Amino acid sequence: MIALLAKVFLRKTDNIEAVRHKYGMICGSVGICLNLLLSVFKIVLGVLTGSLAIQADGFNNLGDAGSSLISLAGFFLSGKKPDSEHPFGHGRAEYLSAFIIAFFILLMGVELIKSSIESLLSHAPAPSFTLAAFIVLLCSIAVKLYMALYNTRYGKKFDSSAMLATAKDSLFDCITSGAVLLSMAMNYFWKINADPWFSLAVSLLILWGGFGTAKETVGLLLGKKAEPELIHSIAETVMAHDGVLGVHDLIVHDYGPGRMMITLHAEVDEKADMLSTHDMIDNIEWELNKKFNCLSTIHMDPIAVNNPETDAAKEQVKSAVQRIDERITIHDFRLVRGQTHTNLVFDVSAPFDIPLSNGELRERITQQIVALNDTFNPVITVDRL
């Protein structure tokens, strides 16, 4: 269905952003229609059979229709072009819509838990098994599985957190409907009223899924660290150029799908021709922009190359900092000799999980270096990875 609708609404002249936007709108619209149909059938069927679990499942689908509407709004807003107030675009609106979907999933889970507990305490009668209920629930599983598959497929293809959140919600709905079918079968064959217990189990499962989705989207909104594979690929691309001697302070800024910015420092030989080096840096930026669909900015860091005194001091400092933690690295190393002491000016990159404040880390490194040579005066800037 999605592929057929895409053929109708997509044009050959559409760029990747337009294609992504239209697929998001199509998937969201289809989700609204399917969820509304399922919710109407289930709520009516739940009332007729007296099944709390079927009614709960129907209201869950109604909530899913609202989630699809929010996802649709997120795609609409994220597709807006940058403006004076939002120069990096509106891509994070999609993350916000995914978070709102997660909130509704959590709210639905809480309400279902309340209803399940009330049913257990009141000893409500078991729901009756009917052919209509069996057919509707079976169709519901098939429809939700289809929604999960197409949202997963296009969510991964277009890196859409909202689509992936909807896909996860649809999978949980398959489990929900399956649990309702099982509870009705248990009552029909063995006269066991497991309806409220299954409703409670499904509610807890919904809460678990909602919490996972909320955690993921909050991380995206706050600005989580880029995947190690991406960092490695970016650094490898830059280091492939002969004039680059090192890469550090590499940061990936995420302003929404397709709106990534990369900033980094590239170490170059201080004796190299600056115009040629600048031209190389420009070429690297263009290469990164094309390869990673991003906007990149590279800062040149000229460093001393083949200077025996500087190289020896740098190796001493490397050994000193790695005695504190082998994951610590140094960069931007400069040696400034004076009459009474020698300044060692450098930056330290340290993981966040090292249990020392920046001040404490500076003090520990200084102690290690001064113990090697009391004429050294470290001037240290600490960066966290």
Q: For residue 125, what pLDDT is reported? A: 67
What is d(CA 326, CA 349) in angstroms, rounded to the nearest whole number?
11
State the CATH number of the domain containing residue 284. Answer: 3.30.70.1350
Give 297's pLDDT tier (boundaries 50, 70, 90): very high
Q: For residue 348, what pLDDT is reported? A: 92
**Co-location of 118 and 211 in the same domain:** yes
**Co-location of 31 and 120 in the same domain:** yes
**Co-location of 291 and 190 in the same domain:** no
**Lowest-confidence pick of 31-40, 120-129, 206-215, 345-354:** 120-129
**Co-location of 334 and 293 in the same domain:** no
Q: For residue 278, what pLDDT is reported? A: 94
Given the structure tokens 């290690």, which residue do they identify?
368
Q: Which of 222, 257, 277 is the last residue of a domain?
A: 222
Cα dihedral 127, 130, 133, 134 sign: positive
Question: Side chain identity at 338, as an amino acid letter?
Answer: G
Q: Which of 205, 222, 239 is the last residue of a domain?
A: 222
Enter the DSSP assignment of 80: S
Q: Which of 302, 322, 354 is the last residue of a domain?
A: 302
Task: Give how far Cα 148 sits from Cα of 74, 166, 172, 230, Å.
Answer: 19, 7, 9, 27
**Co-location of 233 and 204 in the same domain:** no
Give 280's pLDDT tier (boundaries 50, 70, 90): very high
Task: Give how far Cα 214 sits from Cα of 92, 105, 107, 155, 197, Å.
Answer: 14, 9, 12, 17, 26
**Co-location of 234 and 337 in the same domain:** no
pLDDT tens string 150-165: 989 998 888 887 788 7
Q: Which residues contact 314 (CB under 8 A, 6 or more apart)?
A: 330, 333, 335, 346
59 is in which domain, residue-wise? 2-222
**Co-location of 201 and 316 in the same domain:** no
**Co-location of 194 and 61 in the same domain:** yes
More confident residue, 337 or 275: 275
Q: What radius of gyration do the chain's Cα atoms show?
A: 29
**Co-location of 66 and 159 in the same domain:** yes
Reference 204, options 194, 192, 193, 196; nearest CA is 196
Query: In a 3-state reduction of DSSP, which class is residue 246?
Result: strand
Chain centre to alpha carbon of residue 57: 28
pLDDT tens string 44-80: 877 877 766 677 777 777 777 877 787 788 777 777 7
> Residues 268, 243: contact at Cβ < 8 Å?
yes
- How many domains does the structure of the chain reveal? 3
Provide the β-strand partners of residue 261.
253, 295
> Residues 73, 181: contact at Cβ < 8 Å?
no
State the CATH number of the domain containing residue 42. Answer: 1.20.1510.10
Q: For residue 299, what pLDDT is reported? A: 93
Q: Is the pLDDT of residue 85 over 90?
A: no
